[in-house]
Amino acid sequence: MKRNFLSSVLKAISTETLWRIEENSKDTKYSNIYLLRLSTFQNEATTIRGSNLLQQDFFLFENEQDLSFRFRYCKEQILMNSVVVLKEVISEKEVFA
């Protein structure tokens, strides 16, 4: 009985993850970018423009037409470095739909 209950609960849950990294850099060591050495990303000295977006969706009863839920967590970090401005934006939001 416990196994059937656990199985039905797990079938009702699904997830989706999106992770997007963008980096325009003056770094002369190209392997840092191509091998995704994340510790070198969004560095004030070398980054021209960079963003890091993480979006996580949790679904309950995703394929049910009568009732379904989506819980979304989204975090984005942006670093823009130009002659005029150095700007860092961090935003976090949670969406319940």
Q: What is the identity of the amino acid at 88? A: E
In the block, residue with structure tokens 């996580």: 56
Q: What is the pLDDT of residues 40-54, one digit of tens each?
A: 988 888 888 889 999
Give buried/exposed letters for 78-87 (b at 16+ CB in 10 A, else e): bbebeeeeee
Q: What is the pLDDT of residues 69-88, one digit of tens each?
A: 999 999 988 888 865 455 55
Token pair of 38 as six digits: 């994340």
Token pair of 73 as six digits: 């967590």
**Close Cβ partners of 21 (under 8 Å, ≥ 6 residues apart):** 36, 38, 41, 50, 51, 52, 53
